[in-house]
């Protein structure tokens, strides 16, 4: 009873204690707390810190002046730039290829600011991206080639063992066994393109023991061995190992051919980045031109509205019938409307000018105001539709990249089919070994390990076949089916890309015709509007027309002039966009892509390898495995040899690399590459040269006074 009563009292006390403390975790108690645990842990973990890194800012960032605004409208000087100069500056200052992502141009002005680099810096294209892909230590070309590098491994160890044994001998009941030993082993192995592995190994060993049954208390062993392992079915062949690599696993192919295709795709991405940069630069340039024209039109309307207001006020002062309060209010309202248009046009001009500065990589404001020098063309540019379509299908970089992807999937399917074969490996080795009391003893050739080894008396060899066959091949069949589906997908995507490209070319072809027709129409309308303004003003001064008609004519003239120049800009951008979509924009702008100069040591190494190949004996293997994957260099300028640098952009040659007293020439390009077929894409030339329409006059210069 007492035990039961005590237990109940204990449980009651526990419940009371839980009720007083609450159902929550309790902190442990310490004898000497310092009281700053919270500041050392919680505060430190939640504090926002700054990285210990300092990258110097560009001079265009630190020296940026106050931007031009309506309150600060006066630049120190004008900066006259041609379109070619703008392109050159943009390319020279674009290690990171800028984009107008988030910017929208329209007739009313420009909206948005570029934010790609701030919001998504990893999405930006840079001049280092192709080299980063090529030098990737896990998936680059050199990484794939490194799987065939020879590997030299060496192992040296020494050990001692002293173990008690329960032995019965004639002189004592138990005896201990003590051994000393050491080993040295070095091996040189290499994977070969056929999928096998060859190796050579040599080593020596020392063994000492107190066992009584040994001929010598200590002895040395040595051996030299050569062997190989060669797959006969799965993993065999040059084709599979160049596609998947010697260390590939099912579904994870990373051979030298696939690595080279990844590099080609990275080059296409870089080409598309440069193409987008040039498109954005030209679009910004012509929109800045339009901003000047829009300001000019608004300024002309502003001056006409101001003159009308002054005329009405003068009429009111002399008591003329047209100088009514209604006419004065209408004239003032029209004047204020044009004033707002001028302010918006001027602010929009400053914003367009800053966007062009961003695209060419200079400070947003340095006291100068950029003014375009070139005039947009109003000439009729005619393209043959069949040539446009054929050139787009042959030169569009998006299609070229997708074709590389199709080729990659085809090669991956070849590699996956190899796994349907059984794993059967042929193995072989041949070994010379020797035994002796000493390791080396020149005076006694039979009693040392090296002497016994070199005598060739003890030889071993072995030859065998090892196999491993999966019953059912479920995983292998699934891998092949997956590769087939991936290939079918990429082929379907390529076909749909071609269809989408033809649709885009058709729309742009139509826009080119539409905008030029609108230029003609708006030009006629502009002439008519100017005649109308002159006639209405003359009629108003003679009192035959109301002021409202004068103001309407002025607004219509300003609107028509703005629409005309907007159409001219749209026409020039239609030419740019058509070349952009059919893949000829770089050639249209006279830009070619080439690799920059290497370090001088690289040219020295290349020259040394070239001399080695020149001194060696040429062996023609007469086979290519896998089959040809490339048609050869892509002709960036149609009708030229793609293997020769453009005369406009010669290759830079660094100084010779000096090794001691010998200087070797530079410019030798060597290296491992996939065999290519010497053929190029079809060439397409314009059959109809651009012709000027005699009805269209040359546009007047934009640098006219608007005061």
Closest CA to 220 of 440, 435, 451: 435
* pLDDT for 38 beyond 60: no
Whole-number average pLDDT of the chain: 81
* pLDDT for 663 beyond 60: no
Q: Compute φ and ψ for 380, nearest 5 degrees.
A: -80, 115
Give the torsion sign (CA, 593, 594, 597, 602). positive
Least confident of 470-474, 548-552, 603-607, 683-687: 683-687
Q: Specify the higher pLDDT residue, 606 or 226.
A: 226
* pLDDT for 340 beyond 60: yes
Per-residue model confidence (pLDDT) at position 508: 95
| pLDDT tens digit sequence for 244-271 | 988 888 888 889 999 999 999 999 999 9
Contact 74, 365 (CB under 8 A): no
Distance CA 11, CA 4 (A): 11
Distance CA 116, CA 538 (A): 54
Per-residue model confidence (pLDDT) at position 9: 63
Please report, rounded to a whole number, the percentage of residues in the chain having pLDDT higher than 70.
80
* pLDDT for 120 beyond 80: yes
Q: Specify the higher pLDDT residue, 36 or 158.
A: 158
Distance CA 104, CA 207 (A): 83
Per-residue model confidence (pLDDT) at position 619: 67
Contact 427, 461 (CB under 8 A): no
Per-residue model confidence (pLDDT) at position 39: 52
**pLDDT band with cut points at 50, 70 and 90 for residue 603:** confident
Residues 206-229 have a mean pLDDT of 85
Closest CA to 570 of 523, 526, 505, 516: 516
**pLDDT band with cut points at 50, 70 and 90 for residue 492:** very high
Contact 283, 372 (CB under 8 A): no
Distance CA 638, CA 399 (A): 17
Closest CA to 356 of 369, 373, 344, 343: 369
**pLDDT band with cut points at 50, 70 and 90 for residue 524:** very high
Distance CA 86, CA 278 (A): 10
Per-residue model confidence (pLDDT) at position 644: 53
| pLDDT tens digit sequence for 161-198 | 877 666 555 544 445 577 888 999 999 999 998 899 99
**pLDDT band with cut points at 50, 70 and 90 for residue 643:** low
Cα 486 → chain centroid:
23
Per-residue model confidence (pLDDT) at position 172: 47
Least confident of 91-100, 313-322, 474-483, 487-496: 313-322
Residues 210-235 have a mean pLDDT of 87
Residues 148-167 have a mean pLDDT of 84
Contact 527, 72 (CB under 8 A): no
Per-residue model confidence (pLDDT) at position 651: 40
Per-residue model confidence (pLDDT) at position 585: 92
Residues 111-139 have a mean pLDDT of 88
Give me the DSSP letters along 373-427: -SPPP-SB----HHHHHHHHHHH-HHHHHHHHHHHHHHHHHHHHHHTTS-EEEEE
Least confident of 401-405, 592-596, 623-627: 623-627
Say what angle helices 83-92 and 325-360 make with each other, to 10 degrees: 50
Residues 72-99 have a mean pLDDT of 91
Per-residue model confidence (pLDDT) at position 652: 39
Interacting residues of 496 by C-beta distance below 8 A, sequence separation 6+: none
Q: Is 676 helix (H, G, I), strand (E, B) or coil?
A: coil
| pLDDT tens digit sequence for 264-320 | 999 999 999 999 999 999 999 999 999 999 898 888 888 888 888 888 888 888 887
Please report, rounded to a whole number, the percentage of residues in the chain having pLDDT higher than 90.
39
Per-residue model confidence (pLDDT) at position 168: 57
* pLDDT for 476 beyond 70: yes
Per-residue model confidence (pLDDT) at position 479: 93
| pLDDT tens digit sequence for 526-568 | 999 899 888 888 887 787 877 778 888 888 888 899 899 999 9
Q: Please give the model's pTM, rounded to 2 decimal places.
A: 0.79
Distance CA 465, CA 69 (A): 84
Per-residue model confidence (pLDDT) at position 436: 86
Q: Specify the higher pLDDT residue, 405 or 54.
A: 405
């Amino acid at each position: 009873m007492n035990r039961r009563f005590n237990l109940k009292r204990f449980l009651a006390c526990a419940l009371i204690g839980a009720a007083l403390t609450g159902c929550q975790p309790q902190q442990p108690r310490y004898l000497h707390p310092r009281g700053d645990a919270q500041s050392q842990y919680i505060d430190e973990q939640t504090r926002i810190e700054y990285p210990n890194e300092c990258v110097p800012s560009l001079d265009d960032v630190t020296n940026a002046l106050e931007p031009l605004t309506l309150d600060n409208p006066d630049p120190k000087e004008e900066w006259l730039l041609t379109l070619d100069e703008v392109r050159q500056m943009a390319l020279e200052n674009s290690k990171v290829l800028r984009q107008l992502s988030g910017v929208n141009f329209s007739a009313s002005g420009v909206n948005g600011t570029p934010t790609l680099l701030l919001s998504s810096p990893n999405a930006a294209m840079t001049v280092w991206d192709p080299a980063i892909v090529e030098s990737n230590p896990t998936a680059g070309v050199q990484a794939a080639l490194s799987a065939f590098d020879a590997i030299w491994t060496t192992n040296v160890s020494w050990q001692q063992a002293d173990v008690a044994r329960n032995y019965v001998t004639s002189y004592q009941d138990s005896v201990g066994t003590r051994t000393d030993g050491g080993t040295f082993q070095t091996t040189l192995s290499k994977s070969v393109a056929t999928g096998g592995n060859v190796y050579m190994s040599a080593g020596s060993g020392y063994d000492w023991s107190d066992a009584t049954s040994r001929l010598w208390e200590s002895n040395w062993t040595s051996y030299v061995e050569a062997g190989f392992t060669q797959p006969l079915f799965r993993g065999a062949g040059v084709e599979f190992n160049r596609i998947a690599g010697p260390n590939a696993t099912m579904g994870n192919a990373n051979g030298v051919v696939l690595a080279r295709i990844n590099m080609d795709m990275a080059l296409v991405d870089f080409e598309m980045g440069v193409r987008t940069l040039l498109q954005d630069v030209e679009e910004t340039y012509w929109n800045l031109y339009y901003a000047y024209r829009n300001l000019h039109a608004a300024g002309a309307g502003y001056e006409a509205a101001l003159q009308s207001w002054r005329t009405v006020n003068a009429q009111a002062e002399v008591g003329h019938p047209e100088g009514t309060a209604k006419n004065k209010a209408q004239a003032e309202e029209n004047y204020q409307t044009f004033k707002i248009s001028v302010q918006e046009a001027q602010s929009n001009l400053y914003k367009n000018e800053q966007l062009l500065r961003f695209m060419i990589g200079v400070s947003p404001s340095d006291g100068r105001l950029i003014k375009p020098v070139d005039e947009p063309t109003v000439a009729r540019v005619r393209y043959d539709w069949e040539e446009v379509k054929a050139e787009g299908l042959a030169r569009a970089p998006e299609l070229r990249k997708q074709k590389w992807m199709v080729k990659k999937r085809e090669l991956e399917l070849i590699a996956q089919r190899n796994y349907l074969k059984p794993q059967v490996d042929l193995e072989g080795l041949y070994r010379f070994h020797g035994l002796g009391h000493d390791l080396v003893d020149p005076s006694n050739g039979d009693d040392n390990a090296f002497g016994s080894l070199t005598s060739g008396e003890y030889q071993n060899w072995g030859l065998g076949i090892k196999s491993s066959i999966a019953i059912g091949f479920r995983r292998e069949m699934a891998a092949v089916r997956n590769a087939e589906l991936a290939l079918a997908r990429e082929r379907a995507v390529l076909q749909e890309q071609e269809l989408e490209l033809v649709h885009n070319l058709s729309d742009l072809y139509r826009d080119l015709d539409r905008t030029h027709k609108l230029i003609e129409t708006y030009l006629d309308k502009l002439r008519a509007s100017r005649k109308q303004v002159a006639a209405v003003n003359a009629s108003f001064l003679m009192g035959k027309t109301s002021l409202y008609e004068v103001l309407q004519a002025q607004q219509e003239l300003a609107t028509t002039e703005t629409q005309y120049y907007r159409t001219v800009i749209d026409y020039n951008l239609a030419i740019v966009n058509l070349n952009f979509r059919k893949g000829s924009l770089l050639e249209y702008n006279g830009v070619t892509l080439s690799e920059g100069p290497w370090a001088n040591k690289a040219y020295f190494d290349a020259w040394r390898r070239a001399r080695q190949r020149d001194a060696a004996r040429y062996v023609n293997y007469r086979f290519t495995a896998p089959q040809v994957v490339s048609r050869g260099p892509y002709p960036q300028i149609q009708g030229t040899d793609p293997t020769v640098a453009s005369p406009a952009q010669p290759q830079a040659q660094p100084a010779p690399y000096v090794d001691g007293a010998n200087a070797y020439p530079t410019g030798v390009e060597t290296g491992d590459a996939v065999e290519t077929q010497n053929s190029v894409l079809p060439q397409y030339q314009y059959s109809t040269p651009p012709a000027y329409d005699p009805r269209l006059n040359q546009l007047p210069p934009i640098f006219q006074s608007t005061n």
